[in-house]
Amino acid sequence: MQDKRSLHNIIFIILSTLIITIFHYFTTANRWDIHEFLRRLYYIPIIVSAFRFRLKGGLLSSIVISLLYAPHLLLPYVVSFGHGDITILNQFLEIIMFITIGTTTGFLVESDYKKKKMLELQIKRLTDLENYTQNILDSMTNVLIAVNRHFKLQSINKEGRRLFQLKDSFIGTGLDNILIEYERLEEILSDVLLKNKKILNRELRFTLKSGQEIYVKLIAYPLYNILDEVEGVVVVLEDISKIRKLEKQIRRAEKLSAVGELASGIAHEIRNPLGIIKTISQTINSEIRDEEIKEGLEIIIHEVNRANTVIKGLLDFAKPYVHQKKYHSLDKLISEVLLITDKYIQQHHVEVNYASKEDRIILLDVDKLKQAFINIIFNAVQAMPEGGSLDINLSIHNDITKISFKDTGKGISKDVIEKIFEPFYTTKDTGTGLGLAITHRIIEEHNGCIEVDSKLGEGTRINIYLPIEEKGVKND
Ligand SMILES: Nc1ncnc2c1ncn2[C@@H]1O[C@H](COP(=O)(O)OP(=O)(O)OP(=O)(O)O)[C@@H](O)[C@H]1O
Ligand SMILES: [Mg+2]
């Protein structure tokens, strides 16, 4: 575009110079008035050239035009006007004017051009710097927020926009746009503003506008303007939710294994005397005729049986499982589990929807994993006394298999969720509270993990993640 314009200008300058020169040379020498007019026309290509090509354009065109015009110095010798010397002087002065006008205009345009270039360079440097700073902020894995004195958002980096799911029009809006408990954050930031102090690594829990709960480490410090006045606050948030979750899982696993060891020791000790009580009660029961004593003995035997069920559960919970592992299809395993639980599910008017997007043949303990899934399905069915639906999904994400069980049952409250994996924690009259403790243990023995998400009155989703120790792939 620029080149095309330059070419047009060059053509115009050359053509106009040529045309004026041709006219000059074809005009008879005694038409002095026309010569005067044509001579002045030369200023047009000189000025255009100076404007377009600056100093070098002005200088070059004025020199070329001066050379083209130079033969006119001899004109008075060809035609006598009677004032020969003055005319020569005029012609000569005109040539000097050509060069002066070309040089001065070129020089002025040149300095103007340099100033413009300098300004452009500075603007480019500033934009580069701004982009560079923005890139640094956007590359951060922490959230960075800047707010003004009235806690209105001024800037949020990419990670923050992702976490808070913000659209572009957040600037100038309040913190209520990103957090439910925004007042708590405003309180903390007022401290920074009023006392002009920094807050370092304060651990907090927030609920996002989307309802998601996050644990963060917060750093906040005053934001100064160029006059060194506090203009707002800069907040850096490090999302430590994953670390908190992992810590929780580790604590839970440690607690469960300690309880497991203790429980298995006690269970062994109790099983033997219980066995003796049961055998003696059965022997006496078969020999005695007194109905009242017989009834009492039957109660004893029934209760011993019940205690034995609890002990069996305890031993299941404490037993190591790893030695039974073999390669098995997960899809097949879930189908087998659904076959076993089918009657129970139907009796409780629950509709099961099972979908497997992909299958994997992985190393697992078939019986134990079946037991884990059955415990989850039983819990789901028991949470839907009026019936409902249970969606089971099998999918693969980054070499991890995910099996999710989602029911439409009564859900679990937040404080109860914390306890459901503890042995003997139950909210049911007839429950032992060992189902999920055993399930947790089994999943752990498979190097997997278990995740619960529930809303009271809406339902519960249990996700199980198992790593793939792959043998083969079977797509459906
Ligand atoms: N899908 C679910 N919906 C609602 N509550 C659940 C669900 N799964 C588990 N729970 C809660 O977790 C508690 C513990 O479950 P867990 O399976 O360990 O024991 P239980 O079902 O009470 O007894 P058991 O499994 O020994 O019969 C339950 O009592 C129940 O309150
Ligand atoms: Mg249960």
The residue extents of the domains of the chain are 2-116, 140-239, 244-318, 323-474
CA of residue 410 to ligand 1 center, whole Å: 11
Q: 444-469 burial string, b = 16+ CB within 10 Å, else e?
A: bbbebbbeeebeeeebbbbebbbebe
d(CA 6, CA 8): 5
Measure Cα distances from 431 to 209, 297, 462 in Å: 38, 25, 19
Q: What are the residue ranges in the chain where pLDDT is below 50?
A: 82, 472-476
Minimal-distance CA residue to ligand 1 atom 27: 431
Classified by CATH at the fold level, domain 140-239 comes out as: Beta-Lactamase (3.30.450)
Minimal-distance CA residue to ligand 1 atom 8: 379
For residue 437, the ligand closest to its alpha carbon is 1
The pLDDT of residue 86: 65
Neighbours of ion ligand 2 (CB under 5 A): 379, 435
The atom number, within ligand 1, closest to the CA of 459 reads: 3
The atom number, within ligand 1, closest to the CA of 438 reads: 18
Tokens of 277: 């009580």
The pLDDT of residue 377: 96
CA of residue 434 to ligand 1 center, whole Å: 8
Residues with CB under 6 A from ligand 1: 375, 379-380, 383, 407, 409-410, 412, 420, 425-428, 431-437, 460
Pocket test of ligand 1: the residue of 317, 341, 379, 392 to mutate, having most ligand atoms within 8 Å of its CB, is 379
The pLDDT of residue 473: 46
φ, ψ for residue 384, nearest 5 deg? -125, 70
How much is the pTM? Answer: 0.56
For residue 436, the ligand closest to its alpha carbon is 1
For residue 462, the ligand closest to its alpha carbon is 1
CA of residue 313 to ligand 2 center, whole Å: 11
d(CA 147, CA 189): 9
Residue with structure tokens 């306890």? Answer: 419
Please answer whether residues 364 and 325 qualify as being in contact, where contact means their C-beta atoms are separated by less than 8 angstroms.
yes
H-only helix segments in 79-216: 84-139, 158-163, 182-195
Please answer whether residues 301 and 285 qualify as being in contact, where contact means their C-beta atoms are separated by less than 8 angstroms.
yes
The atom number, within ligand 1, closest to the CA of 427 reads: 29
CATH 3.90.1150.10 fits 323-474, yes or no: no
Angle among Cα 343, 348, 350 to the nearest 5 degrees reads 90
CA of residue 379 to ligand 2 center, whole Å: 5
Pocket test of ligand 1: the residue of 391, 419, 436, 438 to mutate, having most ligand atoms within 8 Å of its CB, is 436
The pLDDT of residue 323: 61
CA of residue 427 to ligand 1 center, whole Å: 7
The pLDDT of residue 136: 92
Q: How many other β-carbons are positioned within 10 Å of the β-carbon of residue 386?
A: 10
Same fold yes or no, 244-318 and 323-474 = no
CA of residue 60 to ligand 2 center, whole Å: 97
The pLDDT of residue 235: 95
Classified by CATH at the fold level, domain 244-318 comes out as: Helix Hairpins (1.10.287)
Can you tell me whether residue 184 is helix, strand or coil? helix
